Amino acid sequence: MSDAPPPDADTDPDAVPPAPTGTRGALIRAGLHLFGKTGFAATSTRELAEAAGTNVASIAYHFGGKDGLRRACVEEVARRFQAVLGPDPAPLPDDLPAAAAQARLAFLTTAMIRFLLGRGDGEEVPAFLLREVLGEPALLDIVYDRVIAPRHADLCALWGRASGQDPDSPAVRLGVFAHLGQILYFRLGAAIVTRRMGWDGYGPAEIAAVEARILATLNAALSRGDPP
Amino acid sequence: MSDAPPPDADTDPDAVPPAPTGTRGALIRAGLHLFGKTGFAATSTRELAEAAGTNVASIAYHFGGKDGLRRACVEEVARRFQAVLGPDPAPLPDDLPAAAAQARLAFLTTAMIRFLLGRGDGEEVPAFLLREVLGEPALLDIVYDRVIAPRHADLCALWGRASGQDPDSPAVRLGVFAHLGQILYFRLGAAIVTRRMGWDGYGPAEIAAVEARILATLNAALSRGDPP
DNA sequence: TTGACTTGTTCAATCGTTTGATTGAATTTG
DNA sequence: CAAATTCAATCAAACGATTGAACAAGTCAA
């Protein structure tokens, strides 16, 4: 009933699975777009099929049903994050200097901003993800365990090294969350930001302006460890 | 057919209208909660009526239909923001010192954090609002014009005074957005944040920790104007 | 104080539409 | 040809909206 896809990508943890293709891929892309834009329940299977250029029955065939497509979209989100940030990060070398840690933080920040704000795979990821976070938290586990938690830990290690703080301290963890929150807001609140800025979407110049602003705040926050 | 509520609150711009009561208020509160949690289309009128302790037909009676309830929820969001931040802000006095501007920024930041993260009216506002922003942008206009734009302008004026920059410059505007983005993220991503922090929701101690972190970043960002 | 009438509100029942899922035939692919 | 995939047609369930009856509170004449 739902044994079409060959599942053997979970055994190799370091490999980033390829992007889904064909009708299956088209449906996932349509789901990611429509679920994120309108919501899961608000998107009908007929809309999904039309957006993917196929028939309604394909959803049941490939994913077992509408809910299976949702699950596949969550996994696709995880895959896209892996594709941008690389496979799971290695532990930090002990002799990494603070300046190098700060530079890598800046690099990852820039990569994230360009991924989320620019045209491409990242554009519709946060909206979809947020709907999952706000609604039923069951499916969030997949993304949290496979992407968020290890990435956040990596960023905390870098942040701690760069600022001379304990990477496991609440202050560092909150600092990383607040830092990421800025980036996500520029995507989720794009409608508000671009209107207030007088922009017509995020072009290269606009992305560069956001980058400059967030990197400046990052460096300022890192230089000042907050007093106890 | 839909002339039940007495509309005469728009003429007085400085007054914060009272919170809606009775069945009408219960429906708005149910809408704010369920629309934000599950989504507009995912919430049935029967669920709304049950959550509000009334009958389905009350929705059509008070709001003309499900979409009218959505519109009423948007206006309630605007009202709640006004209730916390006060009526529309006055222009900054010319002789306001930078330190005073920075102090007021910190005060408004704290008020916002407690409003959005603590228990109460603000808790479910961002989720509902974001669903509106991501979906049909038509209803966003109400909130944008009545709340976001004037508030953002006020914050930009304070930010410019505190940091010695032009309050109308893109850098300042982006700085204010990034600053607000941090706060909103702690509400929208609460499921992720609390899990990673090992917290059980946002209690007073947790809110204080978030406050400390965001205020530290704010002060750091204000002290350092970013170089051109 | 009555009783009939009005107004504002809520109720159960019902309507036509749209939903996700299913089915068996048709089509493509190897 | 046979397996994999897509198609048009169809189903029961759930949807938003509507309807006319029912209820509560107030008004006014007698």
DSSP for chain A, please give it: ----S---SSS-TTSPPPPP-HHHHHHHHHHHHHHHHH-TTTS-HHHHHHHHTS-THHHHHHHSSHHHHHHHHHHHHHHHHHHHH-SSPPPPPTT--HHHHHHHHHHHHHHHHHHHHSSSTTTTHHHHHHHHHHS-TTTHHHHIIIIIHHHHHHHHHHHHHHHTS-TTSHHHHHHHHHHHHHHHHHHHTHHHHHHHHT-SS--HHHHHHHHHHHHHHHHHHHHSPPP-
**Residue A65 Cα, gap to closest chain B Cα (Å):** 17
CA distances (Å), origin B4, targets A188, B51, B101? 36, 22, 44
Minimum CA–C1' distance nucleotide for B53: C10
- pLDDT value, residue A224: 60
Among A32-41, A133-142, B98-107, B206-215, which stretch is predicted with the lowest mean pLDDT? Answer: A133-142
Question: Torsion angle, CA of A105/A110/A111/A113, rounded to 10 degrees?
Answer: 120
The fold of B1-73 is Tetracycline Repressor; domain 2 (1.10.357)
Burial label for B149, CB within 10 Å (0-12, 13-18, 19+), is middle
First vs last C-alpha separation in chain B = 59
Please check whether residue A29 is in contact with residue A128, taking contact to mean a CB–CB distance below 8 angstroms.
no
Cα atoms in the Cβ-side hemisphere of radius 13 Å centred on B115: 20
Q: How many CB pairs under 8 A join A and B?
A: 167
CA–C1' span, A16 to C20, in Å?
A: 33
- pLDDT value, residue B201: 93
- pLDDT value, residue B7: 38
CA–C1' span, B188 to C30, in Å?
A: 50
Comparing CA positions, the residue from A65, A73, A86 lying closest to residue A35 is A73
Query: Bigger pLDDT: B31 or A93?
Result: B31
User: In chain B, where does the domain assigned CATH 1.10.357.10 lie?
Assistant: 1-73, 88-223
Closest residue to B220, CB basis, from A127, A130, A221: A221
Minimum CA–C1' distance nucleotide for A49: D6
Q: Which of residues 20-39 of B touch A (CB under 8 A)?
A: 36-39
- What is the overall mean pLDDT for chain A? 86
Look at the block and give the residue holding tokens 């968020």: A148
- pLDDT value, residue B14: 56
Say whether the CB atom of A65 is under 7 angstroms from strand C. Answer: yes
Give A-chain residues touching B188 at CB under 8 angstroms.
130, 133-134, 188
Q: Please enumerate in sequence order all residues whose Cβ is within 8 A of that of B109, keeping only pairs 6 or more positions apart, or say none.
A: B179, B183, B211, B214, B215, B218
Closest residue to B196, CB basis, from A152, A184, A219: A152
- pLDDT value, residue A223: 80
The chain A residue lying nearest B180, using CA atoms, is A182
**Residue A143 Cα, gap to closest chain B Cα (Å):** 10
CA distances (Å), origin B58, targets A139, B7, B23, B27, B64? 35, 19, 8, 9, 9
- What is the DSSP secondary structure assignment for residue B136, as one 8-state letter? -
Q: Which of residues 61-120 of B touch A (CB under 8 A)?
A: none
Give B-chain residues touching A127 at CB under 8 angstroms.
134
Minimum CA–C1' distance nucleotide for A52: D6
- pLDDT value, residue A6: 38
Q: What's the CATH number of domain A1-74, 1.10.357.10, 1.10.540.10, 3.40.1830.10, 3.40.190.10?
A: 1.10.357.10
Cβ of B191 within 8 Å of Cβ of A137? The answer is yes
User: In chain A, where does the domain assigned CATH 1.10.357.10 lie?
Assistant: 1-74, 88-223
Give B-chain residues touching A183 at CB under 8 angstroms.
181
Give B-chain residues touching A182 at CB under 8 angstroms.
178-179, 181-182, 185
Estimate the crossing angle of helix A98-117 against helix A204-223, to 10 degrees.
150
d(CA B161, CA B92): 9
Q: Please enumerate in sequence order all residues whose Cβ is within 8 A of that of A22, keeping only pairs 6 or more positions apart, or say none.
A: none
Q: Is A32's pLDDT higher than 90?
A: yes
Percent of chain A residues past pLDDT 90, beyond the cut? 60
- pLDDT value, residue B12: 47
Q: Please enumerate in sequence order all residues whose Cβ is within 8 A of that of B170, keeping only pairs 6 or more positions apart, or say none.
A: A197, A209
The chain B residue lying nearest A206, using CA atoms, is B170
d(CA B185, CA B193): 9
d(CA B140, CA B70): 11
Provide the pLDDT confidence category of residue A203 given band limits of 50, 70 and 90.
Answer: very high
The fold of B88-223 is Tetracycline Repressor; domain 2 (1.10.357)
Query: What does the angle CA B24 – CA B28 – CA B34 come to, to the nearest 5 degrees?
Result: 140
Q: Which tens digits make up the pLDDT trace of A60-71?
A: 999 999 999 999
- pLDDT value, residue A225: 45
**Maximum CA pair distance of chain A?**
60
Comparing CA positions, the residue from B141, B145, B154, B146 lying closest to residue B79 is B146
Which residue is the nearest neighbor of D14, CA to C1'?
Answer: B44
First vs last C-alpha separation in chain A = 59
Provide the pLDDT confidence category of residue A131 given band limits of 50, 70 and 90.
Answer: confident
Mean pLDDT in order along chain B per 10 residues (228 residues):
36 66 92 91 93 92 93 90 81 88 94 93 90 77 82 94 93 94 92 93 96 93 60
Q: Which of residues 125-154 of B touch A (CB under 8 A)?
A: 127, 130-131, 133-135, 137, 140, 144, 148-149, 152
